[in-house]
Amino acid sequence: MSKRRSPYNVILISVDAVAKPDAKSFLELPAFKYFTGRGTFTDNVNTIYPTITYPIHSTAITGRYPDRHNIAHNEPWQPDVNDRMRVWHWDIKDIGVKTLWHAAAEKKLRTASLLWPVSGKARGIIKWDFPEVLPLPGENPVIKMMKYASRIWLARTELMYNKERVSLKRCDLDDYMALLCEKLIGSANYPDLLTVHFADTDDTRHNEGVGTEADKAAILRMDKRVMRLIEAVKKRGIEDRTVFVIMSDHGQQNVPKGYITLDKQLCEANMGRAQSIGLGAYIYATDTDRAVKYLEENKEELHIKYILKNEDLRKLHAPKDIKLAVQAEEGYGYVDRNCDCDHLGDHGFGLEVPEAKTLLWLVGGPFKKGVTIPGAEMVDIAPTIAEVMGLSMPDCDGRVLREAYEEDNKLTNN
């Protein structure tokens, strides 16, 4: 075996769209029960505002809030483009600060990333990269992927395994990612840092709602995929040097009352534009004071739970360009002009709801076994992983979760 430069290899698994209200049922699932018995757990991680996937994953991988990493949304703002035709933040360059992958590459460690948001075109940073990139209507998915992924590795995996990928539906894509994880973990040069994002649960909850039979089936599929990774580590004989970090990004809430056409109404009132974040919206006002007055006067009709003004957003470490925002009353969401939204479940809620408390397991290596810690911040994940791997991630907004360390493994110098 080649010489390893990191004390532990880390497998960071993101389980999309589950949160505190799901904790009880997750702790009963075989893979998650396995982690809970062998590691440190909390169902009380404060996620970040906005509670949407790309900003949260960018925070998890950088240890910085959105006011520093600059990912405000899954998509750059494209107010007059239909949502099916919009480009997303697929390029790693969109993140304005250092990521764990950069820190690992600096130490010449081997990194792999599968379907992680904002990780495309990471040549020289991520060795084996299959980023989350969505083909737009009319685009060939493989050609699109060739632009963003690790090309030679992608070509090789396509030749060897593409028959195993049943379709491009998220549940099948996630199964394919589990297969690629097994192959990477099983190889002689297994990655020092492997990040993988499973989003079958997010997709299912958006389309079918939370608590449905389809939702329950998606959660069971998720457990099976994670179990495949545990088995791959055992089979490779690297249990002792492998640390699993399992995180979630946000929960979902059902949207029984439907979507309000806030953007259209603001346009018609000549107040500016709105950009939906699901259960909330950013407001790009032509005149902020006038827009605030309008929103306050029409609070009931627009089903606004509360307004976030500039000073509120700065306290939340919201993306710098966002100066005004709203959250919808429970059961409602917001939709952009020229777009449809028929989601039964959604996120983008404020940080006060239980679905904004997310799940975290730290398993193996220096971490305590069978222990629950009171809570953590989403910004703590990157510095904690950096510490475990001996990487340099200075100037993070978060801290190392030392309370999760066994006493013997606690460093004395800070």
Footprint of Zn ion (CB under 5 A):
16, 53, 202, 249
Q: d(Cα 305, Cα 112) in Å, to the nearest integer?
A: 41
Least distance between Zn ion and beta carbon 353 (Å):
15
**254 versus 265: smaller Cβ distance to Zn ion:** 254
Least distance between Zn ion and beta carbon 116 (Å):
12
Nearest residue to 308 via CA among 329, 322, 294: 322
Phi, psi of 98 (to 5 degrees): -65, 140
Least distance between Zn ion and beta carbon 378 (Å):
12
Least distance between Zn ion and beta carbon 221 (Å):
16
**75 versus 158: smaller Cβ distance to Zn ion:** 75
CB 328 within 8 A of CB 308: no
Q: Is 284 exposed, middle or buried (0-12, 13-18, 19+ CB in 10 A)?
A: buried
Least distance between Zn ion and beta carbon 250 (Å):
6
Q: d(Cα 92, Cα 148) in Å, to the nearest integer?
A: 10
Q: d(Cα 305, Cα 303) in Å, to the nearest integer?
A: 6
Helix (H), strand (E) at residue 213: helix 213-236
**175 versus 355: smaller Cβ distance to Zn ion:** 355
Question: Residue with the closest Cβ to Zn ion?
Answer: 53
In the numeric block, which tokens belong to residue 311? 């000073």
Least distance between Zn ion and beta carbon 356 (Å):
12
Beta pairing class for 242-248 and 357-363: antiparallel
Nearest residue to 54 via CA among 70, 37, 38, 68: 70
CB 388 within 8 A of CB 192: no
